[in-house]
Structure 1
Amino acid sequence: MAYVPGVALLAALAVGCSAGSDSNANGADSKAGSPTVTPAPPGKYETLPAPCRAVPRGMLKDLLPGAAELPGDQQEKVFRGSASVTYDTDRKVGCSWKSDAPNATRSLSIDFERVVSYDPAVSDDDRADTVYAKKEKAAGLSSPAAAGPDAEKNSGAPDAQGKQKDKDKAGADTDRPEDAAADATASADGSADPSSSSSPSGGDGGGDDDGANTEEALPSRVLDNLGDAAFLHNLPTRAGSTAQHRTVSVVFRTSNVVVTVRYAEQPALVTQVPDSRELQEKAQALARKLAETLSE
């Protein structure tokens, strides 16, 4: 008779130990499986557009005057563009065009960079914002909140222009070693492009008052209503340059993609001065079109 209760007691103890063991195992598994860091959300864009087909033919005709008058095969070659050499078309692509007209040469290039963060705690958008901010700093500009309306207004003053040249050079030198995005930054600030020289300091027209007024009215500046953030860089004159080049860069970020548009003109005669206002307006119009295309 005493054997049966003993068996029952052993069975109860076995059940209790088993239950406790399962409970501990479940608790351990639950603790081990709990994430310590919530992964940041991925960027909106997983691919990039075909750059040489990103600009509508009608806009190319307007941006490259004289190309439409070329013979058929030459015209197609100009409008086809030249794709940038890249080893990862999912991350970075670009295209450039050039047109020689009797009165001037126009050149255009666009670059798309899709930024990916490999840090689970940093989103693709935040990483892209860092890349964009480096380009903005290299252009001698600050964010809208930091610059304010007075800083933007004063950036066109002669003293500010002189200081801005030093900032451009210093920003480009310090930013270049950071990462692969530095290549696009160098292109954006014109340091690697011989055609990026602008007119002599003192305005678009040197001693021309109208040119100087245009220069002061349209300085490098942060832009509104273009992507998530944008700026325009009216490139400064290279020291000792006598060529009347003018290059305008528009850089903007939308989600995890950073886009750079560069538009330049070199008149056939050194006495001719590029129209800075026209170049800026057309570069901005193209940038807005590209932003719309990305959003589609």
Structure 2
Amino acid sequence: MQRKAYVPGVAALLVALLAGCSGGSGGGDKTDDANPGNVGTATVAAQPGKYRTLPEPCGAVGHDTLDALLPGIRQIADADQRDQAYAGDATLTYDTDRKVGCRWKVASPDATDHLLVDFERVVSYDNSVSDAALAGTIFTTKETAADLPEPAASSSGTGAESDSASASGSSSTAPAPSASSSASASNSTSSPTASSSSSSSSSPSSSASSSDTPTDLQPRTLSGLGDEAFIDDAVSGSGSVTRQRTVTVVFRTSNVIVTIEYEEQPATVDTVPDSKELQDRARNLAAQLADALNG
């Protein structure tokens, strides 16, 4: 009879243990519910860039355009040397899908002209930042390094000034000019100060005087060229050495940044390359490259 009384007690103990296990399982469910953000949360990746490849840089500039940019090229008598001059020299690159470029150099009795065309395709490895957004950040860094002067107010409304004013008004990411560049712009009619240099290492020193560049052709932002663009213009050399002018145009289209550097060094000391002529040539080339990218 004592054994029969003991068995129900054991059964009651087993029931209590099983109830405890069930309660523990329920507690685990409550812990999961307390952190709903960690369950089933989907991360939306930023959109990839428009461009997945880059053009062949040495073939991106046609012969007619090279004739205009490098006048001495048509004066090369030897056909093989002339063809080699048209072909250009590709810049060193380790990934042709990310960065490519081409250089041309042609000398003539009047001047030596240099041309560099560089394409950079920006790729973001951060899922929260798109390729185009990262390219915009890199472009802004280049524009800030160029230290463009503040656009001078003018009632004449020339095309160059309109480009600068329009782009400055429409872009919320354009950097504010430094105090020194603002002072340069405000005093440009009486005593122009040194113009800024391009961020490229091949650009002339920033100590070059901006008095060689007319006010309406000063370095400035450009409208109607890609998503955003700017132009820089600087002269190096003085006194007994030849004066070299370098015009740089940088523009961005989606996740591709294009840089054009166009330099001319006259053969004579007392000659300064014409700013408008060089800027027009460089901007025409930039427009052609932008159209080709969008085509």
Alpha-carbon distance between aligned partners in 2 of 1:54 and 1:69, rounded to the nearest angstrom: 22
Q: Find 2:73's aligned residue among 67, 82, 86.
A: 67
Deviations 1:44-91 (CA, angstroms, capped at 9, x unpaired): 000000000000111011111021121201101110000000101110
CA contact (8 A) 1:248 1:283 kept: yes
1:216 CA displacement: 1.9
Which amino acid counterpart does residue 56 of structure 1 have in structure 2? G
Q: What amino acid is aligned across from residue 211 of structure 2 in structure 1?
A: G
Residue deviations 1:196-253 (CA, integer Å, cap 9, x gap): 469952523xxxxxxxxx5222100000100000000012546888431000000000
Residue 258 (structure 1) shift = 0.4
Q: Which structure has more helix as a fraction of its residues?
A: 1
Among candidates 120, 131, 144, match of residue 168 of structure 2 = 144
CA drift at 1:144: 1.6
Residues 73, 219 of structure 1: alpha-carbon distance in 2 compared, 3 angstrom cutoff: same
Q: Which one of 151, 157, 167 corresponds to residue 188 of structure 2? A: 157
Question: Aligned AA for 2:66?
Answer: L
Q: Do structure 1's residue 83 and structure 2's residue 82 form an aligned pair?
A: no
Identical-residue share of aligned pairs (%): 46
Asked whether the equivalents of residues 193 and 210 of structure 2 are also in contact (C-alpha less than 8 Å), the reply is no
Q: What's the offset of the Cα at 1:162?
A: 3.2
Distance 1:160 1:114 in 2: 41
Unaligned runs of 5+ in 1: 1-16, 169-187, 205-213
Deviations 1:249-291 (A, max 9, x none): 0000000000000111000001111011100000000001000
2:96 partner letter: T
Helix, strand or coil at the partner of 1:102: coil
For 1:109-131, what per-residue CA distance to the aligned partner results, in whole angstroms no more than 9, with x for missing partners? 10000001111111111100000
| 1:164 Cα deviation from its structure 2 partner | 5.3
Which residue of 2 is the match for residue 189 of structure 1? Answer: 199
Size of the aligned set, in residue pairs, is 240
> Residue in 1 aligned with 2:247?
248
Q: Is the 8 A contact 1:199 1:246 kept in 2?
A: no
What is the root-mean-square deviation in Å for CA atoms of aligned residues? Answer: 3.3
Which structure's CA Rg is the greater one? 2
**Distance in 1 (alpha carbons) for counterparts of 2:275 and 2:187:** 14
- 1:34 deviates by 2.7
Query: CA 1:247–1:128 in structure 2 vs 1: closer, same or farther (change >3 Å)?
Result: same
- Aligned partner of 2:209 in structure 1 is 201
Given that residues 121 and 257 in structure 2 are in contact (C-alpha distance below 8 angstroms), is that contact kept between their aligned partners in structure 1?
A: yes
> Could you tell me which residue of structure 2 aligns to residue 128 of structure 1?
135
Higher alpha-carbon deviation: 111-120 or 139-148: 139-148
- Helix, strand or coil at the partner of 1:247: strand
Secondary structure in 1 matching 2:135 = helix
Cα separation, partners in 2 of 1:38 and 1:200, compared to 1, 3 Å: closer
- Which position in structure 2 is the counterpart of 1:208? none
Length-normalised TM-score, structure 2: 0.71
Residues 1:45 and 2:51 are matched in the alignment: yes
Structure 1 contact 199–245 (Cα < 8 Å) conserved: no
Match of 2:63 in 1: 57
Given that residues 199 and 243 in structure 1 are in contact (C-alpha distance below 8 angstroms), is that contact kept between their aligned partners in structure 2? no
- Is contact 1:220–1:233 with CA below 8 Å preserved after alignment? yes
| Distance in structure 1 (CA, Å) of the matches to 2:118 and 2:262 | 12
Say if 1:264 and 1:231 are closer, same or farther in 2 by CA, change over 3 A.
same
8 Å Cα contact 2:195-2:206 kept in structure 1: no
